[in-house]
Amino acid sequence: MTESVALDPVDLHILRLLQNDARTTYRELAAEVGVAASTCLDRVARLRRSGVILGHQLRLDPAKLGRGLEALLSVQVRPHLRELVGPFVDRIRALPEVRALFHLAGPEDYLVHVAVADTADLQRLVLDEFTARREVVRVETRLIFQQWECGPLLPPESGVRV
């Protein structure tokens, strides 16, 4: 079980601001939340050490990289055995088209978010990398027309232990 971390309103405010712009300086962050810059630095360091903050990510526009078509692939694998699942996950994660991979409960075993050049590239990916695998018994493709970022991610209630 994961060890919980106590978050006070200042921590929550810091997390909200950093999720909106991870490049915010400590000086700007401290001024916004009403604490000294050194205090803010200590709090962010504590949030990193405790695993609440996992890192920073660079977001890219897939269309500007020649991958203007995005889709979600629902994949069913049989038999669903550990000795097949591990290599399947490793192979799918290594594909340059894959943006995210989710292991699910329910009729589909995996949901794979992909970004490809066009429909021919999507067809090649599905046929050559998914349905060509013996353990893959079904793939359903859903095109993504538009996507929105949501958040920020905060605990269900202010001051709740996470």
Q: Where residue 23 sits, what CATH number does that domain have?
A: 1.10.10.10
| Alpha-carbon span 155 to 152, nearest angstrom | 10
Q: How many domains does the chain have?
A: 2
**Closest by alpha carbon to 104, among 147, 72, 151?**
72
Q: Residue 26 belongs to what domain range?
A: 9-49
| Alpha-carbon span 147 to 24, nearest angstrom | 25
| Alpha-carbon span 35 to 58, nearest angstrom | 28
CB 71 within 8 A of CB 144: yes
25 and 93 together in one domain: no
Is residue 131, in this structure, part of any structural domain at all? yes
89 and 140 together in one domain: yes
15 and 44 together in one domain: yes
73 and 111 together in one domain: yes
pLDDT at 2: 64
71 and 129 together in one domain: yes
Residue that is written with structure tokens 């890219």 in the block:
60
Q: Where residue 104 sits, what CATH number does that domain have?
A: 3.30.70.920
The whole-chain average pLDDT of the chain stands at: 92
pTM for the model stands at 0.82
Helix and strand tally (H, E) in the chain? 5, 4
128 and 72 together in one domain: yes
Q: Which stretches of the chain drop beneath a pLDDT of 50?
A: 1, 159-160, 162
